[in-house]
Copies of this chain bind each other. A is one copy, B any other.
Amino acid sequence: MVERAAFVGGCDGVAAVASARLIGEQPSGTIPHALILIMGDTVEATRAFDEVIEKTVPRVALIDTFNDEKFEAVRVAESLGAGLYGVRLDTPSSRRGNFKAILQEVRWELDLRGFSHVKLFVSGGLSISDVLELTDAVDAFGVGTGISSAASLDFSMDIVEIEGRPVAKRGKQSGRKSVLRCRGCMQDHVVPFGAGKACSCPGEPVERLVEVLRSGSLVSAPPAPKQVRARCLEELAEPGNNTPITELLGI
């Protein structure tokens, strides 16, 4: 469920093999620390990977295992050259005084030696604020825990009308309702059912409620994760959606 929600919400892919299968996508990821620990050297492990793995998989070296990222990045880039797609820094938190400075230092040393095509991947306990802070210096993020426990969305099922008569418990507004989105200002309005218009602006109202269940059965099959994701990205890109990301995330 966690991987499905992350993918549906806009992530590019998921790493767990079983999760990827369940949502109908190819899993993606990079070399694990285990390979480097067992082979004993970052460059050797990356060359072994390069030798064995099919050529369609981009070569991303994991450069934080034994040595400092700055020197490993240069070593691995000098060894693989144009074939190196990116480097991944999973820098442990105890070595991360100013992660952005480390990333800019790696970028400087790679660029100074002609490797500006090498992308920077970052992972390891990243929070939303980390991503917002580092995004200028980084080409891709690998996020796990930080995305895995979103706050619950509270909702309840309530009776608001009985055989045409509006009725609701204290604290709930009675009567059947429409949720109209105004195409002009992109605001949603809750109005008595059948009220054709709720907005003072000239935009056209669109009913947002759709029938999902009828007499206890699904009206149609639920969409695939890929489709939900596409719709989510579409809605985020709608011109009326100009809330700053920090506000959406509540930070």
Contact = CB atoms under 8 A, between A and B. Distances in A.
A102 B113 CA distance: 30
Given A34-B159, A149-B152, A162-B37, A92 B173 contact: no
Contact of A173 (B68, B109, B149, B171): B109
A95 B171 contact: yes
A220 to B, nearest CB: 23
A104 B33 CA distance: 22
Secondary structure of the A contact surface, majority rule: loop
Interface residues of A, number: 50
Interface in A40-92: 64-68, 70-71, 91-92
Interface string A106-123: 001100110000000000
Contacts of A94: 97-99, 101-102, 105, 171
A214 interface: no
B158 A33 contact: yes
- Max count, chain B CB within 10 A of own CB: residue among A109, A148, A158, A170: A170
Contact of A93 (B33, B68, B171): B171
A88 B174 CA distance: 21
B159 A37 contact: yes
B68 A108 contact: no
A192 B91 CA distance: 25
- Max count, chain B CB within 10 A of own CB: residue among A99, A167, A169: A169
Nearest to A64: B170
Interface in A160-201: 162, 166-175, 192
